[in-house]
Amino acid sequence: VPRSFLTSKEQFHAFLAARAAPGSEEAPREDEDEEPRSSEQPEPPAKRARPEEPPAEGGGGEEAGEAGREEPEPRERRRARGQNKSRPCMKPKQYESSRLCPSVTQGCAEKCYFGSRCRFLHDLDEYMAVKPADLGQTCVLFATFGKCGYGVTCRFAQAHLGDGYQNVVNTELAKQWEGKSLVRNNLPKELQHRLRKKKFSFEKADEYLRRLGKPQGDRGQGNETSGSSTEAQEVPNCTAPEEGPRDAPAHPVLPEEGGDPKPAALESPCATDASEGSPIKTMGPVTDEDIIKLRLCEKKKLEIQGKLYLAPLTTCGNLPFRRICKRFGADVTCGEMAVCTNLLQGQSSEWALLKRHHTEDVFGVQLEGAFPDTMTKCAELLNQTIEVDFVDINVGCPIDLVYKKGGGCALMTRSNKFEQIVRGMNSVLDVPLTVKIRTGVQEKVNVAHKIIPRIREWGASMVTLHGRSREQRYTKVADWDYIAECAKIASPMPLFGNGDILSYEDANRAMQTGVSGIMIARQVTVGALIKPWIFTEIKEQRHWDISSSERLDVLKDFTNYGLEHWGSDTQGVEKTRKFLLEWLSFLCRYIPVGLLEHLPQKINERPPYYMGRDYLETLMASQNVDDWIKISELLLGPVPAGFTFLPKHKANSYR
């Protein structure tokens, strides 16, 4: 950054405090010593140099005492990495004490399930007396779809409320969207009930696990079963049919208790028992697809070579953010990492990670798990209930919560379980199966080149390799030379590279290494989270010096997409605000191209304090939570009383 834009931390915050509004022309005060109240606490502290010299000899007792007193200090540094696990989280009742019963919003107040026991309001006049003021005069749902399903609870209700609080409908606009499904992969109540009552039929998965013959024994028995699983999986090849019908229905008819409506053709490996009656009603002539099972060589191919792949990003890789990246040119999108056990339990919050917008033409989901039974069953569940183009296994997650349970990167050291998971999921899926891995677990011990050929043999359609180990997390530089070696080893299976794609120049160099494509993820300094327009830069082969007003327009689009997805009532507005603030905790690390002395920006370069070319650009560069909240108030109105925010992820990447 040129010296003319550099500043100190005190001057930076004094400038923002002096100019509280974007239109203000007041100059910063030189003598202002008082800083914003919370600027010190939420802002990440400066990194301290790690002492490399050993302590001097002598005075062992005193030095030991000093070492004991200084012990809490490294703990604070450790807590400043990873996640804010005990961060405050506001619940809906904290910012909206009096809520209107959903039955009133839907126009059927007399049919409230809870009756007199309902804890929500049923009187419209009483609700309108305590409802917070509207946030604007334009409702994005009413303007886009001709109807707002939130009625009087909408925080922009003045745009579509008539006399007597009646919800106005734009009939012509509403007809254009009638019958169209904008978001797919929802969780039906009937399916959720079956999952919770454990009435869902996992026919293919159970058959695979029976053939696996995996006893609940020690490690030695697990090694024996690895061979049997390989032998069992050699049956479904290009000459022998694989279990299961070719086309699974989108919403399968599941057996009730005590009944067995499944035809024999679905239960037996042989498709010759077609004489038994089937309760599934069909129309038209019987074709080969009805009686001949899908063979491995006939499985749908994943043709995404050379395309830009948006990585699954925890917390921030939500549906509105993926729509932003899709608009900027992302070709392939993937949902956030979903835990297979939570999906099998029918948790609504976990199933929300699988939702797919209709603009996502190539979309996949990523699963995390540690055992073949749960992963195989989850794969069969998703194969029958949602629409995806591929399923990805997360073998690259470095966090302790996942690693210590045997998932994520730990699978790279548990080859038997890894093989059983890949083979099992591949046997029950009708769509391609992909795997995302790292170079290894330890920093200087690469093992990916040994695992990739085996993954290809197990039946995976593609591998994505992140050029860092688990110990490196998101620090150091990605090893693209090693990725190039692994790409040669993986051939003919496609291999996508991931790590340090900061500009179109880096993308061009990455493609010259022989990879089939590149995955763009968070990239601590620049990347999809900090710079979603990187997809446009790569496709147009240019550096985009995007202005602060254009960046604000991107944030406006995100809030509109968020209100469409999470709702325009108070709860939806605050959820949109929460994910906007999570994203702003990454966006603040972006340095405009026009302020850089050299292009492109390098990873692990901590940006200094600098003044932007206008107030808004300076405000967006702040790492102060209060300034992020100020940006959210420009888009979503004032925050509720007592509002607090602490980002989920902390940066530990400037090492």
Dist. CA 504–CA 552, nearest whole Å: 23
Look at the block and give the residue holding tokens 């007592």. Answer: 642
DSSP letters spanning 423-492: HHHHHH-SS-EEEEEES-SSTT---HHHHHHHHHHHT-SEEEEESS-TTTTT-S---HHHHHHHHHHHTT
397 catalytically annotated:
yes
In contact, 544 and 502? CB cutoff 8 Å? no
> Which residues contact residue 206 at a Cβ distance below 8 angstroms, ignoring those fewer than 6 apart?
none
- Cα within 13 Å of Cα(316), Cβ side: 25
**Distance separating alpha carbons of residues 85 and 327, to the nearest angstrom:** 33
- Hey, what amino acid is at 429? L
Q: In whole angstroms, how large is the CA radius of gyration of the chain? A: 28
Output the CA angle 631-632-638, nearest 5 degrees.
110
**Strand 82-83 and strand 649-650: pairing?**
antiparallel
Q: Is 566 helix (H, G, I), strand (E, B) or coil?
A: helix
649-650 and 517-520 beta bridge pairing: unpaired
Residue 216 CB contacts under 8 Å (≥ 6 apart), including other chains? none
Bridge partner residues of 392 (DSSP) = 366, 434
Active-site position among 154, 316, 378, 397: 397
How far apart are the C-alpha atoms of 305 and 101, rounded to whole Å? 50
d(CA 557, CA 565): 12
Which DSSP category does 393 fall into?
E
* Cα 41 versus chain centre, distance: 28
Contact 516, 305 (CB under 8 A): yes
H or E element at residue 62: helix 60-69
Residue type, 455: I
Question: What letter would DSSP give residue 541?
Answer: T
Q: Which residues are catalytic?
A: 397
